[in-house]
Structures are given as C-alpha cells and as structure tokens.
Structure 1
Amino acid sequence: MAVRSNFCALVILLAALAGCSDSVDRVPVKGRVFVDGQPLTHGMVQVVPEGARPAYGELNAEGEYSLMTFKENDGTVPGVHPVTVTAIETVDEWHNKWHAPKEYSNASAGLTVEVGSDGSASDIELSWKGGKPFVESNRKD
C-alpha cells in the first residue's frame, strides 16, 4: 500500500510540474541501467541535478530510459548528477517484488550519472552484492 501511495504522489507531483517551467537548458537524454551486468527491465530512474528540476524515466525491456522533466523526452541539464533507481513491481495487494536492491531508491546510496551536452548518459551500474530479486510483504498483521 505504501508503494502505491508513493507512486501516486510521484504522479501527482509530475502532473503539478507539467504546468511549470524554468530557464535552464536541457538536452534529451537516453541511458541504460544494469544490475550485475544484466539490463534492469523494471523500474524508474530519477536524476536530481543541483539547481534544476528532477527528471524521470521509466525503464523498458532493454534496460533503457529516456528522461522527462516537464514533457516527454525533454531531458535534463548536462553534468554529473545524483540518481535513484526504484525497481519495484506490484505482485498483489500485499506484496511487491524488488528487481534491484532497495538501497538504490534512496539518494543516500551515492549513485550518479554523467549527462553529456550531446544527451549521452553514462551507464548506471547496480549490484545485488550477493543478493537477488525478492518479494516483500506490506501486510501489517
């Protein structure tokens, strides 16, 4: 339930930002995410540049994403930026499957991505460090 609430809050935030603008120059960005060398095929990437609005991208079946700040494929500003990867899938009302370690969904994990002025992005490399995908229960009883 908490994941669903967080997702809804993210959608509302993106909708609210859709009517806003700022004056930074963005480049369209496409990148890839890997976990232990394999493409991560579920989840969302959030890039948080200092002094500019965050950008988001959903992963596809090849582990690729395109960043969006205000509208599809408008990208983000070039530079090295903190990034989070939240790779969660709802299994049923009470269970979620994590396709990548939960720690990467928090900015304190220290992940970064380098965005070039041409829109290139460094690969985002994640690791289970011996773990594996798991199903988590949200049931409180």
Structure 2
Amino acid sequence: MRNSLWNQFTKVPRCLILFLVVSLPGCGGPEDTRPVRNSVSGVVTYQGNPVEDAIVVFRPVGSEGQTANGRTDAAGAFQMGTFEGTDGVVPGEYSVMISKLEATDTSQALPEDDPNYDPNPKVEAPPKNLLPEKYAKADTSGLTASVPEGEEVTDLKFELND
C-alpha cells in the first residue's frame, strides 16, 4: 500500500510540472507584432550651439518605414521612437523635420459660472518656431536619415543654420 501511495504522490508533481511547462510560453502577454525597430540617436545644433527641446520627426520617403519622433535634451541629443518612448525607428529612408516651439502660457478655460467667463474668447496665435521655418517641413528641410536594417544609428548630426 505504501508503494501505491508513493506512485500517486509522484504522479501529481509530474503532471503539475508538465502543465507549467506547456503553459509558460503564453504567460508573456500578447506577442509584439509591430515592425522591427533599430535604435536611432543623434544631436541637433543651430549655428553651432546645441538646441534644447527641439522636436525631431522622421517621415518615411515612399512606402517603407513609419513616422518616428524624438525630443532633444540640453546637449541637443535625441533618441527616436516610433510606437512608444525611444523604441527606435523602422528601417528605411526618411525626410527629417526639426522645430523648436516657443514656450507659451497655457490659458485655462473658465467655467461658465465664473464671473470672468468669456463665451467668445480671443483666438490665441500658434506658438512661434524658434528655428528657421524651412527645417519644420519635410519638403524644404533638406535633412534626411537612412536607417539600415539590423543596425543601430547613433551618430546623426543635424547642423542647422539660417
């Protein structure tokens, strides 16, 4: 009887282990079906000085690739992201657009019961671009980037001038 009990006891863990091994591949959540992306980074300067808080946008040339964007830090350095944060850029050829918008005070809408509420508020002008306007458009920037398949691109330099 003791041998029979031992056999039943050892069968349970084996079944449990088999179940865990079979079910583990599904525990990681849904598979990422988005295109492969390569790490892309670089530096933006304007008249030789680093540009902080510039927006860098990669727009695909043709049907390959997907729009990506990044923001420069105090040293003018940026990292690009396509779907989230700095997740990289889909390989392909890109036109590059760079702009730095003037910081503006954001007005807060007042509730209708506020004595200062204006039902016809004045339209605020869009923020001013602090870099030459030509760099804000893919057609006129003259800036390009190539992201080869399977390679990191860490040395992009966009030197802007008037």
Q: TM-score range by the shorter chain?
A: 0.5 to 0.7
- State the number of aligned residues: 108
TM superposition shift of 1:57: 0.3
- 1:119 equivalent among 149, 153, 161: 153
Matched, 1:102 2:133: yes
Q: Tell me if the contact between 2:37 and 2:87 (Cα under 8 Å) persists in the aligned partners.
A: yes
TM superposition shift of 1:124: 0.9
Correspondence for 2:13: none
Amino acid of the structure 1 residue aligned with 2:39: P
Q: Tell me if the contact between 1:25 and 1:77 (Cα under 8 Å) persists in the aligned partners.
A: yes
Q: Which moved more, 1:63-72 or 1:112-121?
A: 112-121
Gaps of 5+ in 1: 1-20, 129-141
TM superposition shift of 1:23: 4.8
Percent identity, aligned pairs only?
Answer: 31
Distance change in 2, residues 1:37/1:115 (3 Å) = farther
TM superposition shift of 1:90: 2.7
Q: What is the TM-score of this pair, normalised by structure 1?
A: 0.65
Instruction: State how 1:1-141 maps to structure 2 within 5 Å.
Output: 23-50=34-61, 51-92=64-105, 94=125, 96-109=127-140, 110-115=142-147, 117-128=151-162
Distance change in 2, residues 1:43/1:94 (3 Å) = same
Q: What is the TM-score of this pair, normalised by structure 2?
A: 0.57
Correspondence for 1:5: none
Amino acid of the structure 1 residue aligned with 2:53: H
Greater fraction of residues in helix: 2
Greater fraction of residues in strand: 1
Amino acid of the structure 2 residue aligned with 1:100: L
Amino acid of the structure 1 residue aligned with 2:72: L
Amino acid of the structure 2 residue aligned with 1:111: L
CA distance in 1, matches of 2:87, 2:146: 17
